[in-house]
């Protein structure tokens, strides 16, 4: 592992921390989730090119497919919250109901 891999792993960890620590917006946590998926994409893509093993290239593309699915569902939940309360502030979510 080179320091480049260390930086990309560090980027994943920073996004993970950003997703788990709430401030005021739910959308900011969804953006940190997208950041996690992007750092995993970059890591698997450079490992595929570094090992000269082209079949690993399937993995970033499939991960992108499922990241798109989860982003769509997360955004749909955010839109339904925003339709009820007007904004997506997390301190509005105290009823366990959208």
Partner 1 sequence: MTYVLFTLSVMLVMGFVGFSSKPSPIYGGLALVVSGVVGCMIILNYGGAYLGLVMFLIYLGGMMVVFGYTAAMAIEEYPETWGSGFEVLACFLVGLMMEVGLVLWVLDFDEVVVMVGFNDMGNWVVFEGEGSGLVRSDSIGAGALYDYGRWLVVVAGWTLFVGVYVVIEITRGN
User: What is each CA distance from 63 to 12, 15, 58, in whole angstroms?
Assistant: 15, 17, 9
Query: Residue 89's beta-bridge partner residues?
Result: 25
Site mask for partner 1 (CB under 8 A), range 40-79, x = bound:
-xx--xx-xxx-xxxxxxx-xxx-xxxxxx-xxx-xxxxx
Place of tokens 């997360």: 74
Could you list the residues that contact partner 1 (CB under 8 A)? Answer: 1-8, 10-11, 14-15, 17-18, 21, 23, 25, 27-28, 30-32, 34-35, 38-39, 41-42, 45-46, 48-50, 52-58, 60-62, 64-69, 71-73, 75-80, 82-83, 87-88, 98
């Amino acid at each position: 592992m080179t320091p480049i891999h260390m930086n990309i792993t560090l980027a994943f960890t920073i996004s993970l921390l950003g997703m788990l620590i709430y401030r005021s917006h739910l959308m900011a946590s969804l953006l940190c989730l997208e950041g996690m998926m992007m750092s995993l994409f970059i890591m698997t893509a450079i490992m595929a090119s570094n090992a000269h093993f082209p079949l690993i290239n399937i993995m970033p593309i499939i991960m992108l497919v499922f990241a798109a699915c989860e982003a769509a569902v997360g955004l749909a939940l955010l839109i339904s919250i925003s339709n009820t309360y007007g904004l997506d502030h997390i301190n509005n979510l105290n009823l366990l109901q959208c």
